[in-house]
A and B are shown apart, each in its own frame.
Chain A
């Protein structure tokens, strides 16, 4: 604490600019901490010493646990600012990113059906999240000491009831997940993932699934697939949360949602479109995107929004977030090069949809990996995702002749799964020291990483995810079919969903 001895302001600035910034931080942090803390926490009885405050500031900068300092936990302005931006970026991927991307890729008569489901699901999931969703995913009361044996048995699959109706979800951190961001910001950040995942599914059923069926499906799927799967992967007591749950039975790693978002939407999309059947006239009538302009604008929004998705998943503005920012960029660019290159070699023309699809495949592939791999690893993930998804959307789809309208399986399901396996191979503790942290040492993640067997753990996690996804989605699809029916009927499908389901048209002539 050399700077304490130096009283002269100018000598600090002159001799040591870095020290000056540390001093500023030191002076500023108690004020900001108090400002944030007064609303909810009684201030500690004894005022903390300078050394405690310094340790507290260090913990904030390094995004580590401040509890040894004895100062009450509070939100950090800098980490919080980044997380609020990130949450906004991820919502921006759905509204308007997917409205434009999905809307542009369907025919003109169905453009509003895509906008409607993006908006409708955003609203629906938000209300469910408030009531029970957040708590069932990120609570932990089922594993509490007083809880029943049954509750303990389900705790690897469901969180708890303590945050129902967001009770107690306020400006203080929930240190199960992040030391320095308010739980209400964490809750909204996670909400934006819960929104985009079901929205993505309906790219596969586009142009032929009626809106009532979409909403009922989204509701059931969210409860029976998204909530348990997300708790299993990211919940504090989750079955497959390798980095943070010391009791995780399967110490798998998924940084930003390879299982939770990409596999979940991709494989469910495949099941849904198989039960749904092909669009009328599929393979005979032209079914071209009505606006590649909208689709490419949407792709750009998705790419930018993905920084919130991936780098934001560090839940702090720290070095891990910065690394995720870098790896996300590299993987997206690499795949966006590989896909159109494959088209060029195979058919002589690199298409705009090829650039777009490649970028999305790369972003999907790097999603589970972004906070665990380095730059070289990211390029490998991007190349693999771009190429394998290209083959899935062209060769595989043609061979099996299923009608996955917007290739949700080919891009999200395939690249998400590929990314998860590669994460197991390429993860390095240099990119993320948490791979060797306390939980990882207890549950076997550290050993798997050192023994180069993490990819086998990832395969196990992939298998369990599929065991949940495929039967549950199949059942839900059949239930929705029995309840409200899935398709609107031939004539209406030919006319387009917009007029029938919404009574509107995307484009009208008379101004």
Chain B
């Protein structure tokens, strides 16, 4: 089992979700997050007071998949979230020891 954490541009969420659904991935957790990488922030001005906003709004998608589904899922995210411009985000892959479906007590690959 692997966990995929993908940080993407907010407006790409629908496309990414649809691509993952097409692969048969049945669930995901999405969070509105803020952060920065190489993409610079912007300035906001309120009555002449200027503030540099470093942290930009992004979407973090978390999914856990069986090892066999990993490659396809990562490829789908990278393909759909890409705009080619700075700030497209990143995909992280982490190993997962176990998973439990609370309702049925199923564990492992059956639970994801």
Q: Is the CB of A351 within 8 A of B48?
A: no
Chief secondary structure at chain B's binding surface: strand
Residues on A with beta carbons closer than 8 Å to the beta carbon of B51? 286-288
Q: Is B44 an interface residue (CB 8 A)?
A: yes
CB contacts under 8 Å to B, within A371-402, are 393-395, 397-398
Q: Is the CB of A351 within 8 A of B45?
A: yes
**A347 CA / B43 CA spacing, docked (Å):** 12
Residue of A nearest to B43 (CB): A347
**A287 CA / B46 CA spacing, docked (Å):** 9
Q: Which of B45, B46, B52 has the most CB of A within 10 A?
A: B46
Q: Is the CB of A347 within 8 A of B46?
A: no
Binding site for A on B (CB under 8 A): 44-49, 51-53
Q: Is the CB of A353 within 8 A of B46?
A: yes
Q: Is the CB of A347 within 8 A of B45?
A: yes
Residues on A with beta carbons closer than 8 Å to the beta carbon of B49? 287
Which listed residue (A286, A287, A395) contacts B53, Cβ 8 A? A286
Q: Which of A286, A287, A397 has the most CB of B within 10 A?
A: A286
Query: How many residues belonging to A are interface residues under a CB distance threshold of 8 Å?
Result: 18
- Excluding A287-B51, A397-B48, 20 further A-B contacts by CB distance (< 8 Å) are A286-B51, A286-B52, A286-B53, A287-B49, A288-B44, A288-B46, A288-B51, A343-B45, A347-B45, A349-B45, A351-B46, A353-B46, A353-B47, A357-B47, A393-B47, A393-B48, A394-B48, A398-B48, A407-B47, A410-B47
**A288 CA / B46 CA spacing, docked (Å):** 7
**A398 CA / B44 CA spacing, docked (Å):** 16
Q: Is A289 an interface residue (CB 8 A)?
A: yes
**A395 CA / B45 CA spacing, docked (Å):** 13
Q: Is the CB of A394 within 8 A of B47?
A: yes
What does the 1/0 interface line of A330-354 toward B look like (CB < 8 Å)? 0000000000000100010101011
Report the minimal beta-carbon distance from B48 to chain A, rounded to whole angstroms. 3
Residues on B with beta carbons closer than 8 Å to the beta carbon of A407? 47
What does the 1/0 interface line of A215-242 toward B look like (CB < 8 Å)? 0000000000000000000000000000
Residues on B with beta carbons closer than 8 Å to the beta carbon of A395? 48
Residues on A with beta carbons closer than 8 Å to the beta carbon of B47? 353-354, 357, 393-394, 407, 410
**A397 CA / B50 CA spacing, docked (Å):** 13
**A286 CA / B47 CA spacing, docked (Å):** 13
Residues on B with beta carbons closer than 8 Å to the beta carbon of A394? 47-48
- Can you list 25 A-B contacts (CB < 8 A)? A286-B51, A286-B52, A286-B53, A287-B49, A287-B51, A288-B44, A288-B46, A288-B51, A289-B46, A347-B45, A349-B45, A351-B45, A353-B46, A353-B47, A354-B47, A357-B47, A393-B47, A393-B48, A394-B47, A394-B48, A395-B48, A397-B48, A398-B48, A407-B47, A410-B47
